C-alpha cells in the first residue's frame, strides 16, 4: 500500500521533516521517494531506519559538490532517498550520526541557506514579472483565446510560490531573531492544507472566470476573480488558526501581505489595461496598431463599441478637415490665380496620403525652386506669402511631381 503526501519545506524545517519521517517510519510507513512537493510512502511491517536530512549547496560548482556530498554519504552507509529544493534525504541503519559538530554544521547551514533564500526570491520575482507581462500584453482580440489559460496557470504558480516563499521569509526572520529552527511538523501539515486549498480556490476561480467570460463576458468575471483573490486572505488565516493553533505570528502577517500585494499587482495591471487594436482595412501586408486605454471592467462588446466610436470620430474629423482644406484651396487658388480644378483633383488624390495645406510667410524676393531640400512638395508664391503643400509619409513620385510642376499656372 502506498500513500502520497504533499509537503512543502524550506531549509529551516529539515529537523521537522526528519521528525515527521521518523514518526511515519514508526507507524510502518517507509519513505520511498521524495519529489519536489510530494513524499511517497510505502506500508511495511517493520521499518528500522533512521533518516538524515542534508543540505545541498547551490550556485557555482553545484553539480560537482552535490556529487561529492552524495558519494561521501553513500560511502559511509547512508542511502540516498531523494532530494528537493536544496534538501537531500538519506536513510541509514548505521550508528554513525549524520551531523556531529554543531559549529561547523551551523556555519555550513547558514551559508547554504543564504544561497537558497536568494534563489527562491529570484524565482518569485520572475513569476511576478511574467504575470505582469502577460497581463499587459492581453489584446482585445485575445479575450477568448489561450492567453486565459496561460494567465490562470501563471496566477496559480505565482500564488503557490508566494505561499512557499512567505513561510520561508517568516522562518528566516525567526531564525535570525531567536535562532529557532522548526522541529514541529504540524506546521508542515498545515501548510499542505493551505496549498491544497489555495490551488483548489485558484482552479475554481479559473473555471468560474472562463464560464463567466463565455456567459456574461468579462465585466462580471472580473468582479468574481477579484472577490476570490480577496477571499483567499481570510481563508488562509482561518485555515491556519484551525489547523495549527498559534498566536499572532509573523508568518501569518507575511502571508497576508504577500497575497494582498500579489492581488493588488495583478488587479491594478488589469485596471490599467492598454489594449492594442490591429487594423488592416485594405488587407495589405502592413497593419496599423492603435493603443486604447480600455478599463478592464468594460465587457467585450462595450470595449469594441468604444473603439469603433473612436475610429468613426477620427474618420469624421478627417473628412471635415478635407472639406475645410478644399474650401481653403478654392479661396487660395482664386487669390493666387491658380487653376483650382487641377489643384483640387491633385489634393483629392493626395489627401489620403496625409498631405496638408497651408500658408507660409517668406521674405520678399525669396523664391524656392529646389523642393528636394524642403519639407514641402510645392510652393506657389505671391508677394511675401507662399501657398504650399507639404510632404506626407509616402515617398513622392518624382515623375508625377515634375508633371505637376510643369502644369502649375505660375510657371
Partner 1 sequence: MPKNQLETLTEQMFYVLMALKDSEKNGVEIVEFIRFITQERILIGPGTLYAMLSKFENEDIITETKVEGRKRWYKISDAGIELLQKEMMRLKTMIRDYEKVGD
Distance in angstroms (rounded) separating the CA atoms of residues 380 and 245: 89
Phi first, then psi, for residue 15 (nearest 5°) are -70, -40
Q: Whole-number minimum distance, CB 87 to partner 1, in Å?
A: 12
Q: Whole-number minimum distance, CB 54 to partner 1, in Å?
A: 5
Q: Whole-number minimum distance, CB 111 to partner 1, in Å?
A: 9
Classify the C-alpha dihedral 137-138-140-146 as positive or negative: positive
Nearer to partner 1, 104 or 261 (CB): 104
Q: Are 351 and 315 in contact (CB under 8 A)?
A: no
Nearer to partner 1, 64 or 334 (CB): 64
Nearer to partner 1, 11 or 225 (CB): 11
Closest CA to 174 of 237, 106, 254: 254
Nearer to partner 1, 90 or 346 (CB): 90
Closest CA to 161 of 15, 36, 34, 35: 36
Q: Whole-number minimum distance, CB 101 to partner 1, in Å?
A: 4
Residue 406 CB-density burial (10 A; 0-12 exposed, 13-18 middle, 19+ buried): exposed
DSSP conformational letter for 384: T
CA atoms within a 13 Å half-sphere pointing along the CA-CB vector of 354: 5
Nearer to partner 1, 50 or 205 (CB): 50
How would you classify the pairing of strands 50-55 and 87-92? antiparallel
**Site of interaction with partner 1 (CB under 8 A):** 52, 54, 57, 65, 68-69, 71-76, 78, 95-101, 103-105, 107-108
Q: Whole-number minimum distance, CB 75 to partner 1, in Å?
A: 5
Q: Are 378 and 404 in contact (CB under 8 A)?
A: yes
Q: Whole-number minimum distance, CB 211 to partner 1, in Å?
A: 52
Q: Which residues pair with 279 in a beta bridge?
A: 288
Q: Whole-number minimum distance, CB 16 to partner 1, in Å?
A: 17
Cα-to-chain-centroid distance, residue 260: 17
Q: Any idea which residue has 470620430 for its cell? A: 313
Q: Are 128 and 262 in contact (CB under 8 A)?
A: yes
Q: Whole-number minimum distance, CB 264 to partner 1, in Å?
A: 38
Nearer to partner 1, 87 or 338 (CB): 87
Nearer to partner 1, 73 or 188 (CB): 73
Nearer to partner 1, 99 or 316 (CB): 99
Q: Are 292 and 307 in contact (CB under 8 A)?
A: yes
Q: Are 19 and 185 in contact (CB under 8 A)?
A: yes
Amino acid at each position: 500500500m502506498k500513500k502520497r503526501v504533499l509537503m512543502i519545506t524550506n531549509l529551516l524545517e529539515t529537523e521537522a521533516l526528519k521528525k515527521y519521517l521518523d514518526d511515519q517510519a514508526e507507524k510502518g510507513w517507509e519513505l520511498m521517494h521524495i519529489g519536489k512537493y510530494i513524499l511517497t510512502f510505502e506500508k511495511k511491517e517493520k521499518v528500522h531506519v533512521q533518516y538524515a536530512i542534508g543540505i545541498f549547496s547551490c550556485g557555482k560548482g553545484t553539480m560537482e559538490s552535490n556529487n561529492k556530498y552524495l558519494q561521501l554519504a553513500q560511502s559511509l552507509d547512508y542511502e540516498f532517498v531523494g532530494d528537493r529544493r536544496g534538501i537531500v534525504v538519506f536513510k541509514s541503519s548505521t550508528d554513525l550520526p549524520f551531523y556531529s559538530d554543531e559549529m561547523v554544521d551551523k556555519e555550513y547551514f547558514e551559508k547554504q541557506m543564504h544561497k537558497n533564500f536568494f534563489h527562491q526570491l529570484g524565482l518569485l520575482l520572475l513569476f511576478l514579472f511574467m504575470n505582469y507581462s502577460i497581463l499587459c500584453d492581453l489584446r482585445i482580440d485575445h479575450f477568448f483565446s489561450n492567453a486565459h489559460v496561460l494567465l490562470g496557470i501563471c496566477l496559480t504558480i505565482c500564488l503557490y510560490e508566494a505561499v512557499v516563499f512567505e513561510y520561508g521569509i517568516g522562518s528566516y526572520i525567526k531564525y535570525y531573531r531567536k535562532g529557532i529552527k522548526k522541529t514541529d511538523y504540524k506546521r508542515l501539515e498545515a501548510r499542505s492544507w493551505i496549498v491544497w486549498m489555495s490551488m483548489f480556490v485558484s482552479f475554481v476561480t479559473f473555471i468560474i472566470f472562463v464560464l463567466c467570460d463565455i456567459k456574461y463576458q468579462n465585466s462580471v468575471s472580473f468582479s468574481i476573480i477579484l472577490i476570490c483573490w480577496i477571499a483567499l486572505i481570510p481563508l488562509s488565516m482561518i485555515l491556519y488558526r484551525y489547523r495549527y493553533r498559534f498566536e499572532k505570528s509573523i508568518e501569518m502577517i507575511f502571508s497576508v501581505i504577500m497575497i494582498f500585494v500579489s492581488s493588488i499587482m495583478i488587479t491594478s495591471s488589469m485596471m490599467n489595461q492598454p489594449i492594442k487594436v490591429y487594423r488592416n482595412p485594405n488587407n495589405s501586408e502592413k497593419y496599423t496598431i492603435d493603443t486604447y486605454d480600455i478599463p478592464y471592467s468594460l465587457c467585450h462588446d462595450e470595449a469594441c463599441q468604444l473603439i469603433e466610436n473612436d475610429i468613426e470620430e477620427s474618420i469624421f474629423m478627417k473628412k471635415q478637415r478635407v472639406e475645410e482644406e478644399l474650401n481653403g484651396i478654392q479661396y487660395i487658388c482664386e487669390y493666387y490665380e491658380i487653376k483650382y480644378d487641377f489643384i483640387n483633383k491633385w489634393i483629392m488624390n493626395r489627401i489620403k496620403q496625409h498631405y496638408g495645406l497651408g500658408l507660409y510667410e517668406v521674405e520678399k524676393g525669396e523664391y524656392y525652386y529646389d523642393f528636394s531640400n524642403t519639407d514641402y512638395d510645392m510652393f506657389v508664391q505671391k508677394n511675401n506669402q507662399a501657398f504650399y503643400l507639404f510632404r506626407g509619409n509616402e515617398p513622392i513620385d518624382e515623375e508625377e511631381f515634375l508633371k505637376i510642376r510643369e502644369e502649375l499656372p505660375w510657371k
